[in-house]
Amino acid sequence: MKKKIGAKKPELSELGRVRDRISFLYLEHAKLNRQDSAIQVLDQRGIVCIPAAMISVLMLGPGVDVTHRAMELIGDSGTGVVWVGEQGVREYAHGRALNHSSRLLQAQAKLVSNQRTRVAVARKMYQMRFPDQDVSGLSMEELRGKEGARVRSVYREQSLKTHVAWTRRTYDPNNFEAGTPINQALTAAHQALYGLSYSVIVALGASPGLGFVHTGHDLAFVYDFADLYKADTSIPVAFQMAAKYGEDKDIGSKTRLAMRDAFRDGKLLARMVADLKTLMGVTDEADEADLVSLWDDRLGLQKMGVQYQEVGEDDR
């Protein structure tokens, strides 16, 4: 038998939980390889090794070359991978989840497939943004209007606080540099938040495409989920960066670094994990079990890997 090279694949229980990991790492113009249980990153500044199991998501930008060995380690470590465009503006592809259980996905699919429960989850999301108000009787149209007013108010407050002129949110996904400094900063900040939101969603086994408010896009739920945190994270950071760097052509890069620093203490990551499970009505119990069962419409879940006997006429 051929001898395996490198560290053995870790068991799921040995990996760092999502809430305990570093939020995200953005890389561009670098070569990624594997050294033992670390991702080796080589760029013009030198070489650095990053423990794979301690990262939630790797955002790989233009000019990144990844070896098969590096991807093997990333996959074994449950690290989310998102291939993005320059400045993180576009998302092209992503990898698999850390959690091998489908409990969260099944709960999400059930909730989003029923109009009553879908509205209930959407209201729960809005309630998180208006903790001191009762939104249980509001329609989706009323909730959208209320949220729009809240976001406009946040923009105005940050504009007054940072002395950054604000008119409206505009951006061209095909031309990042065409935006004003504050809009460039907002785009970069929101993309970092989307990356973190995506990593939590897929790492826990939910679907980024099954949205409750947004719909019709493969990242609909990412937009739903990230909207819960923009007022506290990406919007303030973007205005701070616009105030500090203004016309700096690297404002996108500086904003991403500022978002990374804002995520660094891990409190937002832990909050996201808890919020997602609350929204889906799923507890921590056995949420990371690597278990496959067989579905039966009469008997419930049955064991996999058992050679079942043919059912006779007398058994029906």
Q: Which residues are annotated as a binding site for Mn(2+)?
A: 147, 214, 227
Assign 189 to helix, strand or coil: helix
DSSP 100-162: ---HHHHHHHHHHTSHHHHHHHHHHHHHHH-TTS--TT--HHHHHHHHHHHHHHHHHHHHHHH
What's the Rg (C-alpha) of the chain? 22
How far apart CA 173 and CA 114 sit, in angstroms, is 33
Which secondary structure element, helix H or strand E, spans residue 255, and what is its range? Answer: helix 251-263
How far apart CA 125 and CA 28 sit, in angstroms, is 34
How far apart CA 39 and CA 48 sit, in angstroms, is 8
How far apart CA 3 and CA 232 sit, in angstroms, is 51
Sheet of 64-66: strands edge to edge? Answer: 46-51, 38-43, 30-35, 64-66
Q: Is 287 exposed, middle or buried (0-12, 13-18, 19+ CB in 10 A)?
A: middle
Binding site listing: 147, 214, 227
How far apart CA 264 and CA 309 sit, in angstroms, is 55
How far apart CA 41 and CA 64 sit, in angstroms, is 10
Among residues 71, 121, 124, the alpha carbon closest in space to that of 95 is found at 71
